[in-house]
Amino acid sequence: MAPTVKSELSTKDQGTLKTISKLFDDKKYKKGLKLVETFLKTHPENVDGLCFKSLIVYNMSKKDEAHDIAKKVLRSNLSNSMAWHTLGFLHKSDKNYSEALKCFRNASKHAKDNTQILKDLLSVQLYLRDSAGLRESYSALLHAQPAQKGNWVGLILAYHLQGNYKQALVVLDKFNEVLDDKEKSGVSYSELILYKCMVIEESGDLDQVMQILKNDEKLILDKMWSKKKQAEILMKQKQPEKAEKIYRDLIKVNPDDYNIHRKLIECKLGVTLLGNDMESLSVEQVAIVDKLYQDLKVSYPKSLLIQRLPLNYLKNAEQFRSELFNYVKVFLRKGIPSLFNSLKLLYKNPEKIAIIESLLNTEMESLKKSLTFSDASTTTTEKEQPSTYLWSLYFMSQHYDQIGQHQKSLDFINQAISHTPTCVDLYIQKAKVYKHQGDHKQAYQEYNYARTLDLADRYLNTKAAKYALRNNDPLTADQIVSLIKDDRTPLVDQISEFQCMWYEQELGDAYQRCGNYGRSLKNYYLVDRHFNEFLEDQFDFHHHIQKKLTLRSYIEFLRWEDNVFQNKPYTKAMKQLIRVYSKLINQQHQQNFHLLHSNQLKNAEELENTLKQRRELQEKLRNESKATSEGQPIILDEDPNGEKLLQDSNLLTTAMKYLKTLLKFNNDSIDTHVLACEFYLIKKKYLAVLKSLLKIKQLVEAEGQQLSQSNVYHRYLIKLFHQYDSEYSTLGAPVKEVVDQEKTNLLSGKSLVDYNNEFLKQNPNTIAHQFAGTQMSLLLNPEQKEQLSTKFLEISNAEGTYKDALEVYQFLSNIYGNEIAEKYRVAANQKYPLANIFQI
């Protein structure tokens, strides 16, 4: 930061200020502080001196003192830009951006031609998406420095973000005029043209985009993008034949791009395909698509994607079988372990599953017998490779795991292991089977064995850590990831430095399962912190982009940032965070809340010792850095176990904050609305519950599920109207009017008890449904608690996964206590012998 040199100071004093400024820039805060304090003795009211002192002490972690100084200076110098700028700087560093914006704006007002202030101002404006303010700032900056390319670019961006395409294009054209001829080629210029296309396309003038893409073809270097865009526009302009030609050209370049194939099919059929699903095509449509792909298969015999695509749409069993055979042969011969994953999509269709099973069984048997496929002539001496048989066993194990037959799955993987024990993938598959059956202990052991076979494989190392966490064993996980940590900075919390969110998620989940809610929350909050760091990343990108002119990517990046909280790692962690809060809130109401005995941290004592030692080392490092270095001090987490988070006096409000983010950014998720129903029921906001219930209804129906078969919808329907009825007299007329009407609609006039009994009758064989229905019976008739316990215990006979059974078990141990829960556990243990949670 440059001092605003005052004329009344002597040359020597001005020199001192410059030295201070230099020391500050070089992060030599201790020396800087000494010098500025000496300086202030003779000039106690000097604005620059005080501002530097404020900035220096801020960087020495004395934030409050810094703010006090800055505010004091400002109070007596309200029209001093340096004073405003300084306070703005402090706010920006505190991530208090709206306050920073105000300060920078004032600073700029009192120093109109100070470009540094303008730059600080506009970076905050951009962050806050204040596009009108951003435009003003860039106008001013461009006026002051018209030769700077970045200022032109900034102004164009500002207009674009405002949605003022016309002005954006006007400035863009003017910018084009000021460029030299030698600047009108190369990557940067190509990017500028494509950016122009983007703006024009958003303004709706598709014809003009087409024209530019054709006219400037030689200048445009991103040929693929240009072609894709042209095809896309042709599709919009209802010229599928022309679009098809382009897509065929693109397939020539890369025959394995699924998106291009999808577009090609859409061209051919004149429809938009939903998701990856081609099952819904009609017989006629399949015939058209199949003709296309029979030809493509001849043209591109090596493209695995083109070989596989017919499997997605084919309806005829014979044809499907023969295509599948050819496809499977290639993969088994080459030994590509991903064969199963590439077919996984087909497992939605029971007929296809049956064909896969019978075909692979036949081939596996044939390979076992004679090491040939079943279509080999009996006289042939040409054998397949032994690994082909191995991969057929591997596939069979994956197949049976997928359809829930774990014993068969284990048999096949064990056969594979005795055939080729050195194949690492086999142990990974074995671990998966155990994991899917809830035997996390054995799953970890298998995975860790795979890891020891190839210690150099980072994937195996990290995944083994994940399996350890699933086994509630943070200590082991920590030891494994420690192997791949950076050795130079030992033991300082690198996982969060790496923004390694899957680890934080799994660690949070493990602590949650084991009832350590403080540490669980801490880890979910780390994920939250990383996403906020992603938002901060915008500041770094901004400078870079103006030099490179890659504005298309930049705009896309800004739009991604706008929706950064939509990303799955975020929503997943926040859902878990809210669930912990829900448990904490309920714990206050429920006396007999307790954990299942199997959910205990493994190696707990040793874990605590390790964490304690690490903490001590961190403290030591911090003290050393305090004593010696000048740079940023090491900041220690004051609440490593999250105890302060648990003492939050308003858990509900805290949770609501994150729930609202989910409702905004993850509104199409049933889980989000389940949480919303839970929390709004606590808050007695019946309209909000109703809104979420209707959203659940919509999402269930969109998935093609019958409403009468949705246990989630059923549970919250009953919960809502039951609680609503019991509070009816306290509610206002406007609420009643809306809810009453929907209630009649949704229940078709039936009583809650009748409606619930019907649900139980309609879904007699599945754990999830019987559990939801019986739970609601208890809610509606709490006096029948005794009789209903038998009902609950009978659920163990119904169909479902161990996870479904676990929910019942958890519920019983909370509501009915140990005796009943234990009966259920014994039954569940017989049914799911591998699941650790039902073992003693």
- The residues binding another protein (CB under 8 A) are 333-335, 382-387, 389-390, 419-424, 452-456
* Smallest separation, CB 441 to another protein (Å): 21
- Residue 448 CB, shortest distance to another protein, in Å, is 11
Report, in Å, the least distance between residue 377 CB and another protein. Answer: 14
Nearer to another protein, 384 or 804 (CB): 384
Residue 392 CB, nearest approach to another protein (Å)? 13
State the CB neighbour count (10 A cutoff) for residue 671.
Answer: 16
Enumerate the H helices of 304-349 as residue ranges. Answer: 304-313, 317-334, 339-343
What tokens were used for 454?
């190839």
Q: Output the smallest distance, CB 359 to another protein, in A.
A: 20
Q: How far is the CB of 334 from another protein (least distance, A)?
A: 6
Q: Rounded distance, CA 544 to CA 560, Å?
A: 17
The nearer residue to another protein, 178 or 455, going by C-beta atoms, is: 455
Amino acid making up residue 120: D
How far apart are CB 458 and another protein at their closest, in Å?
A: 11
415/796 with CB nearer another protein: 415
CA atoms within 13 A on the CB side of 336: 13
CB of 274 to another protein, least distance (A): 38
Residue 426 beta carbon to another protein: minimum distance, rounded to whole angstroms:
10
563: left (phi over 0), alpha (psi -120 to 50) or beta: alpha
To the nearest whole angstrom, how small is the minimum distance from the Cβ of residue 383 to another protein? 7
The least distance separating another protein from the CB of residue 386, rounded to whole angstroms, comes to 4
Q: Calculate the CA dihedral of residues 545, 551, 556, 561 and round it to 10 degrees.
A: 30
Rounded to the nearest whole angstrom, what is the least distance from the CB of residue 369 to another protein in the complex?
14
For another protein, which is the closer residue by CB, 322 or 387? 387
The structure tokens listed for 820 are 């009943």
User: Is 15 or 386 the residue whose CB approaches another protein more closely?
Assistant: 386
- In angstroms, give the least distance from the CB of 355 to another protein: 25
Q: Using CA atoms, how far apart are residues 461 and 485, in angstroms rounded to an integer? A: 11
CB-nearer residue toward another protein: 29 or 331: 331
Residue number with CB closer to another protein (454 or 486):
454
Phi and psi, residue 678, nearest 5°: -55, -50
Closest approach of another protein to the CB of residue 419, in Å = 6
Number of H helices, E strands in the chain: 43, 0
CA-CA-CA-CA torsion sign (825, 831, 837, 838):
positive
In one-letter notation, the amino acid at residue 41 is K
Query: Which residue, among 31, 33, 93, has the nearest Cα to 67 in the 3D structure?
Result: 93
The full DSSP string for 125-180 is HHHTT-HHHHHHHHHHHHHH-TT-HHHHHHHHHHHHHHT-HHHHHHHHHHHHHHS-
Residues contacting residue 699 through CB under 8 Å, at least 6 positions apart: 668, 669, 670, 673
Nearest to 755, CA basis, from 724, 776, 729, 726 = 776
Question: What is d(CA 293, CA 312) in angstroms, rounded to the nearest whole number?
Answer: 12
Query: Is the CB of 386 or the CB of 764 nearer to another protein?
Result: 386
Name the residue nearer to another protein (CB basis): 382 or 783: 382
First-to-last alpha carbon distance for the chain, in angstroms, is: 66
CA 215 to chain centroid, in Å, comes to 41
The token pair at 789 is 């316990």
Token duo for residue 46: 């000097």
Nearest distance in Å: CB 565, another protein:
40
CB nearer to another protein: pick between 485 and 791: 485
| Choice between 7 and 380, CB closer to another protein | 380
What are phi and psi for residue 382, nearest 5 degrees? -70, 115
> 332-351 burial, b for 16+ CB within 10 Å, e for fewer?
beeeebebbebbebbeeeee
Q: Which is nearer to another protein, 186 or 386 (CB)?
A: 386
Cα separation, 343 vs 322, in Å, equals 15
Would you tell me how many other CB atoms lie within 10 Å of the CB of residue 317? 12
Looking at this protein, which amino acid is placed at residue 338? S
Give the tokens for residue 501.
């969110």
Lookup: tokens for 324: 């599948």
Taking the least distance from each CB to another protein, the nearer of 138 and 389 is 389
- Closest of 96, 97, 99, 8 to residue 47, by C-alpha: 8
Contact present, 153 and 546 (Cβ < 8 Å): yes
User: Could you give the CA distance from residue 761 to residue 369 in angstroms, rounded to a whole number?
Assistant: 50
C-beta of 325 vs 347, nearer to another protein: 325
Q: Which is nearer to another protein, 7 or 378 (CB)?
A: 378
